[in-house]
Structure 1
Amino acid sequence: MIETLLLRTVVVVLLGSLAYFFNPFALSAPVAGIFGVILAGIVILLERRLKRASLTHLIGAATGAITALICTLLLSVVLERAAGAYSLTHFIVIAFLALGTYIGLAVGAKKGEMLNLGALGGLIGGEKSGKSSFMVLDTSVIIDGRIADVAETGFVDGTMAIPQFVLRELQMVADSADSLKRNRGRRGLDILQRLQKSSHVKVQILEDDFPNVRDVDMKLVEVGKRYACRVLTNDFNLNKVAQLHGVHVLNINELANALRPIVLPGEIMRVFVIKEGKEYNQGVAYLDDGTMVVVDNARRMISKTIDIAVTSVLQTTAGKMIFGRFDERIHAVYDKTSSVSTTDAGHHTRGREHSATAAPQTT
């Protein structure tokens, strides 16, 4: 931010000085200096708009700027032959060179890290790459925190981009009067610090904002469309809306569901029944990863660890549910204080056992 301010100050002083000393259009020196300062302000506004442009638009703008610069140089040759145009000619040439250098530095520094060299290599080699190499994180996935654990394992790499409006929303949550929201916001800020310290990923702040779009979710969709990048979230609604707009979404909940242990009907698993189910004589347990287990004939086994036989597995958009049956004639029963073994109880058909000793959760 300070570097950008200094660069803009240099441009204002440079154009103001050029206009003052070269005095174009036969103006008085003070008026010419003011004219140069106004011109510098227009250029800075143009530079801020260019930062929000997509990479394809920038390529077109660069081509147009080069063409305009060539035409300006040709025009300067003609003006040098005209009488009385010496100061104006030099002012135009030097001003265009200064403006071109400034815009190239400012916009190139902003967009340079977004360039996908792999995609460029694919174009040269005849292959086409359709997505950018960085991901955009939303507020929910930052507060969730699991993305930091995944990044530290090395399963994901590259650049993780955080838009400014996401940071503002996160800061508002961290400054909330509600203690629960405040803790969630501070946790999100701590997660960002973990990501910045990670050696596997790079964190970049996006200054892109969409003043005409008020909803944060739609701003994320616009970012995904502008850069053709992936949006990382665990928000179900954002997931659906982004897909409708053709934006590639990575839902960390879907990743968690995919990594859950596979349970097949007929397997024996050990669970801790924590409450009564909705149907008659049902008990409810939870696996360590939060998966709900509904057990028939287990209402009397609340606060006990028991072995059950899996009857079916239901996969939903919200997660996975396991249904099982308890038969006290053949299944073992443990009291509340018994330790849950990680080995097979002796009648596991595949040599694998699942435990469910997590704290109670609401259905």
Structure 2
Amino acid sequence: MINKIIKALMALVGITIGVALYFYFVKIFPGLWHLPVAYKALGSIFSGLITGLVFYLISPWLLKEGKNMASWVDKELSKVPPIEILIGSIGLALGLFIAYLISQLLIQIPVPIVGTTISIVVYIFMGYIGVHLAIKNREELFNFNLISKLSTQKEKTIKKTSMSSPKILDTSVIIDGRIADICKTGFIEGKLVIPNFVLEELRHIADSADDLKRVRGRRGLDILNKIQKELDIEVEIYEKDFEDISEVDSKLLKLAQLLEGKVVTNDYNLNKVAQFHGVDVLNINELANAIKPVVIPGEEMVVQIIKDGKESGQGIAYLDDGTMIVVDGGRKYIGDTIDVLVTSVLQTAAGRMIFAKPKLATEKSI
């Protein structure tokens, strides 16, 4: 609709120009001036229709070039701080005003065209000088030092935010809940993206007939509300769905590739599949394991044996952070708190496992 209106306006402009040109030529050539009024009217109509048709036909090209020019100007101006545009505009206005005063004298030159030509050069020169001097001396002339610093700081903040890739949350990490505490500490940079298909999965879990699933789903929704309302971090709900893909994990990977973002998860299998597809993953479990205290072979620990292990004679204990300790020969100490010596540590993406032996048994063997 807009394009049709623009074409019609261009045609009207062409008709106006055609009629104006016809009467201009009529005045120049005396022979045309003495023609009958009917011929003059027909000539003006014919001239207007010709130029109107030309303008109508070239209007798509003019519209396209106008859009390209507007985009180029917008792109170039976006690179310049707003305060410099303001100062430059003031300098340009002052320069053109001075050029106007000078041109009033130059137009009086009796030689044809010379005065007008020199006036145009003066306008261009004074406009450039006005913009250049205003921007160069902006702090001294306008005392915008503080504003300039704030503008620079804002640009740095915007640049830093734009450099941070979006973090896409999967269902497991939302239900887990630790992502809210991590965001609160400020270790997550950039915006959080919550796909609509993940929200749908959470709603489905929250409406499940299974009590455990229902509690987990509602916990996930509460965590999202906490992140969105209480934390100072940008959250975006991604509405688009990938209907040709059925699995949620595959949709997450597709979305991460589309947004050039990172998937935040604690799903071990999703982590492996993402690595295969070349998608960056932030695994909450890996982060938790990385910040656990370092345990080395030979270190002494005090643990409580809770249950027996899979192998014969093994006992199982746990640290406060949930790390499992397999105590060889600890089955007979179930329910007791004993000293153990660490023999080895197994580190995987799924977690950390510590192997140990009772200290008493080790001392007896020595």
Q: TM-score range by the shorter chain?
A: 0.5 to 0.7
Deviation digits for residues 271-306 of structure 1, max 9, x if unmatched? Answer: 110111223322111112221111122221101111
2:166–2:259: 8 Å Cα contact kept in structure 1?
no
- In the alignment, what sits opposite 1:266? 298
Alignment of 1:107-122 (within 5 A): none
Hey, what's the Cα distance between the residues in 1 that align with 2:14 and 2:342? 88
Query: 1:82 deviation in Å?
Result: 4.2
**Bigger CA radius of gyration:** 2
Hey, what's the Cα distance between the residues in 2 that align with 1:134 and 1:294? 40
Hey, what's the Cα distance between the residues in 2 that align with 1:195 and 1:120? 21
Hey, what's the Cα distance between the residues in 1 that align with 2:8 and 2:214? 57
- In the alignment, what sits opposite 2:354? 322
In the alignment, which of 136, 149, 160 is matched to residue 181 of structure 2? 149
User: Structure 1: which amino acid aligns with 2:287?
Assistant: L
1:224–1:247: 8 Å Cα contact kept in structure 2?
yes
SS in 2 for 1:328: helix
1:273–1:283: 8 Å Cα contact kept in structure 2?
yes
1:145–1:191: 8 Å Cα contact kept in structure 2?
yes
Residues 84 and 157 of structure 1: CA distance in aligned 2, closer, same or farther (over 3 Å): same
Answer 1 or 2: higher relative contact order, Cα 8 Å, separation at least 6: 1
Residues 311 and 76 of structure 1: CA distance in aligned 2, closer, same or farther (over 3 Å): farther
Deviation digits for residues 227-266 of structure 1, max 9, x if unmatched? Answer: 1011111112221222222211111111111111100111
2:299–2:341: 8 Å Cα contact kept in structure 1?
yes
Hey, what's the Cα distance between the residues in 1 that align with 2:350 and 2:174? 20
In the alignment, which of 282, 285, 288 is matched to residue 253 of structure 1? 285
User: Structure 1: which amino acid aligns with 2:293?
Assistant: P
Matched, 1:186 2:181: no
Matched, 1:209 2:241: yes
The answer for unaligned runs of 5 or more in structure 2 is 17-47, 72-154
Question: % of aligned pairs identical?
Answer: 51
Query: 1:223 deviation in Å?
Result: 0.8
1:165–1:216: 8 Å Cα contact kept in structure 2?
yes
Alignment of 1:57-136 (within 5 A): 82=49, 132-136=164-168
- In the alignment, what sits opposite 2:31? none
Matched, 1:277 2:331: no
Alignment of 1:34-45 (within 5 A): none
Residues 72 and 137 of structure 1: CA distance in aligned 2, closer, same or farther (over 3 Å): farther
SS in 1 for 2:234: strand
SS in 2 for 1:231: strand
Q: Structure 1-normalised TM-score?
A: 0.57
Residues 161 and 281 of structure 1: CA distance in aligned 2, closer, same or farther (over 3 Å): same
Q: Structure 2-normalised TM-score?
A: 0.57
SS in 1 for 2:295: coil
- In the alignment, what sits opposite 1:220? 252
Hey, what's the Cα distance between the residues in 2 that align with 1:136 and 1:220? 8
Hey, what's the Cα distance between the residues in 1 that align with 2:11 and 2:336? 90
Residues 73 and 293 of structure 1: CA distance in aligned 2, closer, same or farther (over 3 Å): farther
Matched, 1:171 2:194: no
* Residue correspondences, number: 240
In the alignment, which of 339, 353, 356 is matched to residue 307 of structure 1? 339
Deviation digits for residues 196-222 of structure 1, max 9, x if unmatched? Answer: 123332211111211111211111111
2:196–2:238: 8 Å Cα contact kept in structure 1?
yes
Deviation digits for residues 106-146 of structure 1, max 9, x if unmatched? Answer: xxxxxxxxxxx879969xxxxxx997532110111100101
Hey, what's the Cα distance between the residues in 2 that align with 1:76 and 1:272? 92
Hey, what's the Cα distance between the residues in 2 that align with 1:265 and 1:154? 34
Query: 1:329 deviation in Å?
Result: 6.5
User: Structure 2: which amino acid aligns with 1:266?
Assistant: G
Hey, what's the Cα distance between the residues in 1 that align with 2:246 and 2:10? 47
Query: 1:85 deviation in Å?
Result: 7.6
Hey, what's the Cα distance between the residues in 2 that align with 1:249 and 1:303? 40
- In the alignment, what sits opposite 1:47? none
Deviation digits for residues 65-88 of structure 1, max 9, x if unmatched? Answer: xxxx9x9998896698647989x9
Matched, 1:137 2:165: no
Q: CA RMSD in A?
A: 3.9
The answer for unaligned runs of 5 or more in structure 1 is 1-14, 25-68, 105-116, 123-128, 332-363
Query: 1:155 deviation in Å?
Result: 2.1
